[in-house]
Structure 1
């Protein structure tokens, strides 16, 4: 998916003097992981709230939430782990 490019800090990247566009799947994943439920007014149920899982003793709860939210956003999730998450947007045949 192509979208407005962000910097590592999450700001819109205008380093070239103009808005840049790039592949944004990993950016969307990051946004969903960090957002709590209710952070997006237009979609209040979206978000994992990864910070809330810091002291959780069972990582499966976190993995389940990640899998659920990425799937809800239209991604096909292949693998979720602490080191690597593999999820891609499904191609539409429109």
Structure 2
């Protein structure tokens, strides 16, 4: 990984992203401070477990999401995190 899991978790925390983490998985970076390269699905799973203690990620679901994005869970990919959108009334 280009950045450690602890460092990414810290950045997410600084940005107020702690629960109900929203993200997209792509073959490319969006070049934002919330876009990170992961070497494989296991790295992403480790981050999600550490960053959101209320969320219990399922490895099979994570791998399926990566495959659905047209990527290989055992090869590198990018995860673009974003803050949860609040709908205004």
Work out whether the TM-score is over 0.5: no
Which has more helix, going by share of residues?
Answer: 2
Task: Answer with 1 or 2: which has the greater Rg.
Answer: 1
Instruction: Identify which of structures 1 and 2 has the higher relative contact order when contacts are C-alpha pairs closer than 8 Å and 6+ apart.
Output: 2
In the superposition, the TM-score normalised over structure 2's length comes to 0.29
